[in-house]
Amino acid sequence: MKIFISADIEGTAGITEGGEGNRDRPEYAEFREYMTDELVAACQGARAAGATEILVKDAHASARNLILSKLPDYVSIVRGWSGHPDLMMFGLDDSFDAALYTGYHDRAGADSNPLAHTLTGRIQRILLNGEEASEFTLNALCAARYGVPSSFLSGDRGMCEAAAALVPGIVIVATSEGYGSASRSMSPARSVSAIRDGVEAALSNGISGGMPAKAGDWELRIEFSNPVDAYRGCWYPGVEHVADRTLQFRAIDFFEIQRAIRFIVM
């Protein structure tokens, strides 16, 4: 069994303030360790369920966060950003049996996590076919392009509930819940245990989860916080500048949506 894991940090147990995920701040070292511990727990759960190969994508900010000395010897890792439109899912292909997600956070504008956002703080929201999209939305659809089911997610409660609605049957572990600029979280030790058990359950006796619903065609709408960003992005081929801060793009192939996001946003 071959498993892909995309690891973020803002849905890690305990994280509450932006500096805790910023490599230039002293508190980052502590939360980088929690992020790594949760990822390792997911690897251990996958291994217990029979995984023979695990590829991890470090998917937060610089994509150089995970503490490599803590990774099990059966794990390989993609660090940094290649420039490929798969972004947080780079390295995935149709040879994988399941995709897992650790440390994930809710979409921009959600009140379930003080650090909720979608890709960048410059975006107010992203809509796909009229529905607000999170990073998980984009990444689960990316996995589905390869025929790979999304089987497990850990992160804040709002993200977990949204993931369960998007991919029925996915196993979720809610590590925290936001209240304004505060959060209530399980302890890091409890989070590690729950993630290990959750991943093992998701991958044992048949893989849990599945694919988000596919559309016949796609409409991407990006609402920026600043009209300057919308103007800059409006020159991508096929983009409509429909309002001061809003761009719209249509495609039949979801990869074209990913490619537009890569060049308009990132």
DSSP label at residue 210: B
What is the rounded distance in angstroms from the CA atom of residue 170 to the CA atom of residue 57?
20
Pairing of strands 131-132, 218-224: unpaired
105 is in an annotated binding site: yes
Instruction: Look at residue 83 and give its three-state secondary structure.
Output: coil
- Choice among 47, 107, 117, 157 that is catalytic: 117
10 is in an annotated binding site: yes
Tokens representing residue 59 in the block? 């998917």
What is the rounded distance in angstroms from the CA atom of residue 85 to the CA atom of residue 98?
20
8 is in an annotated binding site: yes
Instruction: Look at residue 134 and give its three-state secondary structure.
Output: coil
Annotated active-site residue 84? The verdict is no
**Rg for the chain, CA atoms, rounded:** 17
58 is in an annotated binding site: no
Query: Rounded to 5 degrees, what angle do the CA atoms 231, 242, 121 make?
Result: 55
- Hey, which residues does 118 pair with through a beta bridge? 120
- Hey, which residues does 126 pair with through a beta bridge? 222
Reported as half-sphere exposure (CB side, CA atoms, 13 A), residue 92 has a value of 30
What is the rounded distance in angstroms from the CA atom of residue 204 to the CA atom of residue 210?
14
Strand runs labelled E in the chain: 2-7, 53-58, 75-78, 98-104, 123-128, 131-132, 150-156, 171-179, 182-185, 218-224, 240-243, 246-251
What residues act catalytically? 117
Binding residues for Zn(2+): 8, 10, 60, 105, 135
